[in-house]
Structures are given as structure tokens and as C-alpha cells.
Structure 1
Amino acid sequence: MPKTKYQQVIFTFMMVVVMVYTMVCYNVSLNIGGMANSVFLEGFHELIILVPIAFIIEIVVIDKLSTFLAFRIVKPNDPPIFILLAISSMIVCLMCPTMSLIVTLLFKNAGKEFIAVWLQTTVINFPMALCFQIFFAGPLIRLLFRTLFKNSLTK
């Protein structure tokens, strides 16, 4: 959808902020045993640390790799929705274990159980990340992005 590198950076930043904040709130609610209003405020503390990390990883590595992997499943002449779903799914398949690794390193005192904690974190986060990306964050961010760049996208 983005047509220029600038638009790609803006789109990626918007998606990263929404996905990271959602996943942080999800994990905080799991840690406290359920959802509470305080979760939304607590989510901002980790957001400041995780958004720059996720953004850099996404821009530098994941974007190109997820597109490459997606086009091993779909072809350029396939319907656009299939291409979009393939790329979005590949991004989650790559970002979820990567960010779970970073979260395990930064916030979980895993000690000698590091691998087990990382794998558990990934398994717990993956279904939420995939569903939220496909059904909520993706459509929302694409709508906001189209609204923000409506003049330059129609040319």
C-alpha cells in the first residue's frame, strides 16, 4: 500500500505502535490474572522501550524477509487480499518469536529456564498477535494510512 520509502516508514511506525501496545497490554493482563483499567497505563511503560526496538527490527530485517517468504506461497498475480494476508502472516511469524525473545531478555527473569520461557512466551503470544494483526490492527492501520495519504495514494 505505501508507495514511497517515507510512506513505508510511517505505515510501519503506525503498525508497530498499535501491535506493540496491544501485545504489551495483553501480556500485562496475563501477568496480573485478568484485564483491569490499570493495564492500559502500565502498557505505556514498556511501549517506550519496545517500539523503537520493534520498529528497527521491522524496517531493517522483517519487512524484506516477510515479503520474500510470502511470495514463496503466493504469486504476484494472485488476488491482492491473498498477498496482503500472506505478508501479514509472515510478519507475525517472524516478529512474534523475535519480540518474545527481546521481552524475555529484558523483562522476564528467566535465568537457566531462558529457552523454555522464551518458547512459552512465543506460544502464548502468537495466536493473539496473528488474530489481532489480521482482523483488527491491519484493517485499522490501512484505513488510517489511506485517510492520511489519500491525495498521494490516488495519483
Structure 2
Amino acid sequence: MPKTLFQNIVFTIIMALLMVYGMICYNVALARGGVENITFLLALHELPIMAPIAFILEFFVVEKLAVRLAFTFMRPTDRPQFITYATSLMIVCIMCPVMSLIATLLFKEPSFGTWVQTFGMNLPMALLWQLLYCGPLTRLIFRTLFRKQLAADAEKAAQPQA
């Protein structure tokens, strides 16, 4: 969806904030034995640490790798929605173990077993959160923010080439 560098930066910021906040809420709820009202406030304490890490990883490393991986089983002629889903799937498959490792090192008793457990608990939630909620919400917010620019780009693309 993003067409320019600025749009890609904005899109990645929105995605990182929503994805990281949702996953922190999930992990806080796991640690506290369930979701409580305080869960959403406690999650805000880790957000300023984890969101920039997620942004940097996603923007500079993971996005390009995920697109390459997605096109190992997708074709450019496939439906754009399926390409989006495949790319999102690959992003989660890369980001989840890395972010789980970082969270384990920063916020838990670091050990291989703790990281494996954290990753194992996070992967199903990360996939569902990304594909069903966070991804669509991020795209909606992005389309809303860039409505005029996206409409102008679509109009320009629809004009016959001379």
C-alpha cells in the first residue's frame, strides 16, 4: 500500500505501535494470570522500549526479507490480498522469535528455555493479531490518513499512457 518512503515510514510506525502494544498486553496478561483493566496501562510501560526496536527491525531488515520469502510461494500475478497475507505471515514468522528474544532478555529471567516458551506462546497470538486485527486496522488508518494522496495516485494510474 505505501508508495513513497514517507508513506512506508508512517505505515511501519502505525503497524509497530499496534502490533507491539497488542503483544505486550498479551504478555502482561499471561504474566498476571489473566486480563485485568490494569493490563492495558501496564503495557504502556514497555511500549516506548519495544516499539522503536520493532520499527527499526521491520523497516530496515524484516520487510525486505519477508517480501522475498513471500514470493518464494506467491507470484506477482496473484491477488494482491493474498500477497499481503503472505507477506504478513512471513513478517510474523521473522519478527516473533526476534521480538520474543529481545523481550526475554529485557523483561524476563533470560534463558534458552524462557525464550522458547515465550516464542511458542507468542506465535499463535501474533499470527491471529496480525492477520485478523492489527493488519486490517493499520491499513484502514493508513488509507484514512493518505486518502487524498492514494486517490490521486489511483486516478493517475487509471489514465491512459501516451
Normalising by the residue count of structure 2, what TM-score does the alignment of the two structures yield? Answer: 0.92
CA distance in 1, matches of 2:47, 2:88: 21
User: What residue number does 2:117 align with?
Assistant: 120
- Where has structure 1 moved over 4 Å in runs of 4 or more? none
Note the residue ranges of structure 1 that are not aligned, 5 or more in a row: none
Please list the CA deviations of residues 92-132 of structure 1 after superposition, one character each: whole Å capped at 9, or x if unmatched. Answer: 0000000001001111113xxx1111111001000000001
CA distance in 1, matches of 2:95, 2:6: 22
- Cα RMSD of the aligned pairs, angstroms, is 0.6
CA distance in 1, matches of 2:27, 2:142: 27
Normalising by the residue count of structure 1, what TM-score does the alignment of the two structures yield? Answer: 0.96
Specify the SS of the correspondent of 1:34.
coil
Deviation at residue 15 of structure 1 after TM alignment = 0.4
Specify the SS of the correspondent of 2:76.
coil
CA distance in 2, matches of 1:54, 1:139: 18
Q: Are 1:143 and 2:140 counterparts?
A: yes
Please list the CA deviations of residues 27-57 of structure 1 after superposition, one character each: whole Å capped at 9, or x if unmatched. Answer: 0000010010000100000001101111101
Specify the SS of the correspondent of 2:44.
helix
CA distance in 1, matches of 2:60, 2:136: 23
User: What residue number does 1:12 align with?
Assistant: 12
Deviation at residue 73 of structure 1 after TM alignment = 1.1
User: What residue number does 2:131 align with?
Assistant: 134
CA distance in 1, matches of 2:81, 2:58: 21
Partner amino acid, structure 2, of 1:125: N
Report the count of equivalent residues: 152
CA distance in 2, matches of 1:82, 1:73: 11
Deviation at residue 82 of structure 1 after TM alignment = 1.0
For residues 4-153 of structure 1, what are the structure 2 equivalents within 5 Å?
4-110=4-110, 114-153=111-150
CA distance in 1, matches of 2:30, 2:130: 19
Mark the structure with the bigger radius of gyration. 2
